[in-house]
A and B are shown apart, each in its own frame.
Chain A
């Protein structure tokens, strides 16, 4: 045999290379932290670290949900709008006197419905994921603004609003929420058969279908998970800022996609992991945090983020090609 049998270190959802790439990202994160620690005294303070973990947490959760969708070779542009919209929903429900537990469940259920609607548009109406999620991106913000009549709804429930500021075992509760999402997400994507189906659908829909994989159900699953993660982040955001506001979380969908891609997810589908987007999100959060500490103009932060996406994805491509 010739080239055919050369072990190509490809994007397997399993051991080996994906872990190695994960480690490079961990290395990058550690280097960033060490450099920032040297450059500024304020970085390694408990306060700042807590702050960093809070900042990264919400993007990280969005990015994990987004990754499920991207693995199926789709995209979910609506997640930022879903965050803003669900922050309005939970604030509205609480203002209407709905008990907290019910408000949370209802908000998450709205996330499920939005995801199901996306999948319906893709599977039944044959719309490209880009289009259907772009449509909900704009309409959800509109519905949210209609509900609030363009203003914000304050949240007076103290139990809800103190949650995001609380610590547990010295770690911010928001970061615990990342772990609460990431562990089941890991089990789902890497250990359960549904994870395999996501990869199979992203790699070759027809082959998956002819092998008995329920392709439509898999697509429903991916978009529902993404929107539900976004609704969950909507709850966390509402808790953190104490209001419901439909214009919040503007552009977070791009942060989520960027985190996912930095974390090694391929926009062509069938390549991705759970730890990748988590690392990606915290690398982005570190850069923003560090730039703030160093008094770098926030406009520069955007430019740096853009350059970083290019550099990291470029090196990822090189690594994949080199492995052939």
Chain B
């Protein structure tokens, strides 16, 4: 088995750049002393003193807005610190630019893959570090080397495939392999599993352990505490920009971490209230469309119907078909007992269907528009008096949602892009609360959302049910649908393959049905 880092011909240069010395395992490789970041009066990161040990897997947990992204940006040279000191291999360093961080061997793999989708996997892995001979690229050699690395990692991906044709999870693996090839000594993972299937996560974990074995120090940021316990040696907790503590994984437990993160206990997170199920809201019979076939299910007032499956199993596609976004090719939809055709989104909205889509960035939000516009988007018609929008109503409508949902923003004029994942999700939800609906479809509502906001979202579900609405909850995170859904449907390869009542089946059983094990 060849070491990953041997593939890179730049490796030697990087070791030299890093000072030419390696830090023995277990000794401090990166130390932060009073590291601090302010934006004007806002303290994004209060003076933090932390130590990362060579060769460890160090998890960082905290709610959105706790300062995790600020910390990553400081360590990768994306933003400049306000005060404090960073020591790398024992010497004080600037880390003023991303290039400096990379030259020292500090690298990050981001949740959203930042590579070129139109280039091949191999071209992406060698991007900016191509093999050349007399000014010409050695394409075949690069493809071969990249294939070697992928095979060696057991990824089963063709190196000459176009990156964009792969799933997000596979792209994530490519991004990781890329970072691994570049003589990285210190690798930061920012919520890498958010969009990954179970198998992909498992592959990623194998890769991370392997990198650790080769002496790479890993920083692992995640909302999923069970991953932290599976993977990490030590864990640091951030809360409101403050480093509240670091624990050895063997000396802590989930409950303690959650308490540190949010000052709240674990039972309060999966908030579930049972309501009498009422009238039939929607029923599909043999519904088929692009990506899903022959799906029959129903939702009653007061119940949560959970759709579980792997990414690409057809759940989101079913939701988009029901919502009129994609054409339905066969089957029937009954709305409150009456047969309906839902030809477009507007029709769905007018019936009383609301959709909080899977991807906030691609489907949910107009990121470079203000929060207020995003919240009011479906209701501008209602806010119009004569020719123009009633500005006072526009303002009060947006501000009511911001207040009710506790969206953390100084003003409704702030752009949606400036908000954290949890707050962005609240904007999408606020939009539909203000519009009103009878059936709410939440597609992966808690991806990239912190524990505190998760709990708020679950409590909101209960409030909606109480008012007589029905909910379809789509999630790839089994505990979520398992604990919340009154009826749980399992999807596999575009079909509904199994259905269970509340907590009627075991986790293992459901999982096996989803992956056909």
Q: How far is the CA of A204 from the CA of B417 in the complex (A)?
A: 12
- Judge whether B410 and A203 touch: CB under 8 Å: no
- Judge whether A4 and B363 touch: CB under 8 Å: no
With A1-B42, A213-B377 as known contacts, state yes or no: A192 contacts B366, CB within 8 Å.
no
Which residues from 415 to 460 on chain B have a C-beta closer than 8 Å to any C-beta of chain A? 415, 417-420, 423, 431
Between A4, A7, A192, A208, the greatest number of chain B beta carbons within 10 A of the residue's beta carbon is seen for A4
Q: How far is the CA of A212 from the CA of B410 in the complex (A)?
A: 28
- Judge whether B346 and A271 touch: CB under 8 Å: no
Q: At the interface, yes or no: A165 with Cβ under 8 Å from chain B?
A: no
- Judge whether A6 and B418 touch: CB under 8 Å: yes
With A12-B413, A14-B413, A191-B387 as known contacts, state yes or no: A4 contacts B420, CB within 8 Å.
yes
Between A12, A15, A197, the greatest number of chain B beta carbons within 10 A of the residue's beta carbon is seen for A12
With A2-B69, A5-B42, A208-B377 as known contacts, state yes or no: A270 contacts B409, CB within 8 Å.
no
With A8-B414, A270-B368 as known contacts, state yes or no: A210 contacts B241, CB within 8 Å.
no
Q: At the interface, yes or no: A214 with Cβ under 8 Å from chain B?
A: yes
Q: How far is the CA of A203 from the CA of B362 in the complex (A)?
A: 10
Q: At the interface, yes or no: A207 with Cβ under 8 Å from chain B?
A: yes
Partner pick for A203 among B64, B368, B418, CB 8 A cutoff:
B368
Looking across the interface, which residue of chain B has its beta carbon closest to that of A17? Answer: B413
Q: How far is the CA of A5 from the CA of B69 in the complex (A)?
A: 13
Partner pick for A193 among B66, B69, B345, B383, CB 8 A cutoff:
B383
**Residue-wise interface mask of A (162-200) relative to B, using a CB-CB cutoff of 8 A (1 in contact, 0 not):** 000000000000000000000000010001110011011
Q: At the interface, yes or no: A159 with Cβ under 8 Å from chain B?
A: no
Q: How far is the CA of A6 from the CA of B42 in the complex (A)?
A: 7
Q: At the interface, yes or no: B120 with Cβ under 8 Å from chain A?
A: no
Q: At the interface, yes or no: B252 with Cβ under 8 Å from chain A?
A: no
Please, which residues of chain B bring their CB within 8 A of the CB of A199?
366, 369, 373
Q: How far is the CA of A243 from the CA of B478 in the complex (A)?
A: 73
Q: How far is the CA of A209 from the CA of B377 in the complex (A)?
A: 10
Please, which residues of chain B bring their CB within 8 A of the CB of A212?
345-346, 349, 377-378
- Judge whether A5 and B418 touch: CB under 8 Å: yes
Q: How far is the CA of A187 from the CA of B474 in the complex (A)?
A: 41
With A3-B42, A193-B383, A197-B380 as known contacts, state yes or no: A210 contacts B389, CB within 8 Å.
no
- Judge whether A192 and B387 touch: CB under 8 Å: yes
- Judge whether B370 and A12 touch: CB under 8 Å: yes
Looking across the interface, which residue of chain B has its beta carbon closest to that of A4? Answer: B420
Looking across the interface, which residue of chain A has its beta carbon closest to that of B41? Answer: A6
**Residue-wise interface mask of B (80-107) relative to A, using a CB-CB cutoff of 8 A (1 in contact, 0 not):** 0000000000000000000000000000
Looking across the interface, which residue of chain A has its beta carbon closest to that of B414? Answer: A7
With A6-B418, A210-B345, A210-B357 as known contacts, state yes or no: A200 contacts B369, CB within 8 Å.
yes
Chain B min CB distance to A215 (Å): 10
Q: How far is the CA of A6 from the CA of B37 in the complex (A)?
A: 13
Q: How far is the CA of A199 from the CA of B380 in the complex (A)?
A: 13
Partner pick for A8 among B69, B323, B415, B431, CB 8 A cutoff:
B415
- Judge whether B378 and A2 touch: CB under 8 Å: no
Please, which residues of chain B bring their CB within 8 A of the CB of A2?
37, 39, 42-45, 65-67, 69-70, 241
**Residue-wise interface mask of A (220-232) relative to B, using a CB-CB cutoff of 8 A (1 in contact, 0 not):** 0000000000000
Q: At the interface, yes or no: B325 with Cβ under 8 Å from chain A?
A: yes
Q: How far is the CA of A11 from the CA of B349 in the complex (A)?
A: 29
Which residues from 369 to 400 on chain B have a C-beta closer than 8 Å to any C-beta of chain A? 369-370, 373, 376-378, 380-381, 383-384, 387-389
Number of interface residues of B (CB under 8 A): 55
Please, which residues of chain B bring their CB within 8 A of the CB of A209?
325, 345
Q: How far is the CA of A7 from the CA of B40 in the complex (A)?
A: 10
With A4-B65, A6-B39, A214-B346 as known contacts, state yes or no: A187 contacts B418, CB within 8 Å.
no
Looking across the interface, which residue of chain A has its beta carbon closest to that of B67? Answer: A2
Chain B min CB distance to A295 (Å): 44
With A212-B345, A213-B377, A214-B346 as known contacts, state yes or no: A187 contacts B370, CB within 8 Å.
no
Partner pick for A196 among B67, B69, B389, CB 8 A cutoff:
B389
Q: At the interface, yes or no: A10 with Cβ under 8 Å from chain B?
A: yes
Chain A min CB distance to B285 (Å): 25
Please, which residues of chain B bring their CB within 8 A of the CB of A13?
369, 373
Number of interface residues of A (CB under 8 A): 36
Q: At the interface, yes or no: B364 with Cβ under 8 Å from chain A?
A: yes
- Judge whether A10 and B368 touch: CB under 8 Å: yes
Which residues from 240 to 285 on chain A have a C-beta closer than 8 Å to any C-beta of chain B? 270-271
Q: Is the interface of B mostly helix, strand, loop or mixed?
A: mixed
Q: At the interface, yes or no: B165 with Cβ under 8 Å from chain A?
A: no
Q: At the interface, yes or no: B23 with Cβ under 8 Å from chain A?
A: no
Please, which residues of chain B bring their CB within 8 A of the CB of A6?
39-40, 42, 418
- Judge whether B363 and A207 touch: CB under 8 Å: yes
Q: How far is the CA of A93 from the CA of B392 in the complex (A)?
A: 48
Q: At the interface, yes or no: B408 with Cβ under 8 Å from chain A?
A: yes
Looking across the interface, which residue of chain B has its beta carbon closest to that of A268? Answer: B368
Q: How far is the CA of A289 from the CA of B369 in the complex (A)?
A: 37
Q: At the interface, yes or no: B411 with Cβ under 8 Å from chain A?
A: yes
**Residue-wise interface mask of A (291-317) relative to B, using a CB-CB cutoff of 8 A (1 in contact, 0 not):** 000000000000000000000000000
Q: At the interface, yes or no: B365 with Cβ under 8 Å from chain A?
A: yes
Q: How far is the CA of A196 from the CA of B390 in the complex (A)?
A: 13
Which residues from 247 to 306 on chain B have a C-beta closer than 8 Å to any C-beta of chain A? none
Partner pick for B377 among A8, A15, A200, A271, CB 8 A cutoff:
A200
Between A3, A14, A211, A270, the greatest number of chain B beta carbons within 10 A of the residue's beta carbon is seen for A211
Q: At the interface, yes or no: B225 with Cβ under 8 Å from chain A?
A: no
Q: How far is the CA of A206 from the CA of B414 in the complex (A)?
A: 21
- Judge whether A1 and B357 touch: CB under 8 Å: no
Q: How far is the CA of A14 from the CA of B45 in the complex (A)?
A: 31
Q: At the interface, yes or no: B121 with Cβ under 8 Å from chain A?
A: no
Between A12, A192, A210, A270, the greatest number of chain B beta carbons within 10 A of the residue's beta carbon is seen for A210
Q: At the interface, yes or no: B367 with Cβ under 8 Å from chain A?
A: yes
Looking across the interface, which residue of chain A has its beta carbon closest to that of B349? Answer: A212
Partner pick for B431 among A192, A211, A214, CB 8 A cutoff:
A211
Chain A min CB distance to B43 (Å): 8
With A2-B69, A6-B39, A212-B378 as known contacts, state yes or no: A207 contacts B364, CB within 8 Å.
yes
Q: At the interface, yes or no: B355 with Cβ under 8 Å from chain A?
A: yes
Chain A min CB distance to B403 (Å): 15
Q: At the interface, yes or no: A128 with Cβ under 8 Å from chain B?
A: no
Please, which residues of chain A bring their CB within 8 A of the CB of B370?
10, 12, 14
- Judge whether A211 and B378 touch: CB under 8 Å: yes
Please, which residues of chain A bring their CB within 8 A of the CB of B364?
207, 210
Please, which residues of chain A bring their CB within 8 A of the CB of B387?
187, 191-192
**Residue-wise interface mask of B (340-355) relative to A, using a CB-CB cutoff of 8 A (1 in contact, 0 not):** 0000011001000001
Q: At the interface, yes or no: A16 with Cβ under 8 Å from chain B?
A: yes
- 15 chain-A/chain-B pairs, Cβ below 8 angstroms: A2-B65, A2-B69, A7-B413, A10-B418, A11-B368, A12-B370, A14-B413, A196-B377, A196-B380, A203-B369, A204-B363, A210-B345, A210-B357, A211-B378, A212-B378
A residues whose Cβ falls under 8 Å from a Cβ of B: 1-8, 10-16, 187, 191-193, 196-197, 199-200, 203-204, 206-214, 270-271
11 additional A-B pairs beyond A5-B408, A212-B378, beta carbons within 8 Å, are A1-B42, A2-B42, A2-B65, A2-B241, A7-B411, A7-B414, A8-B418, A14-B370, A196-B380, A199-B373, A204-B366
Ranked 6 nearest A-B pairs via Cβ = A2-B44, A203-B366, A193-B380, A191-B388, A211-B377, A10-B415
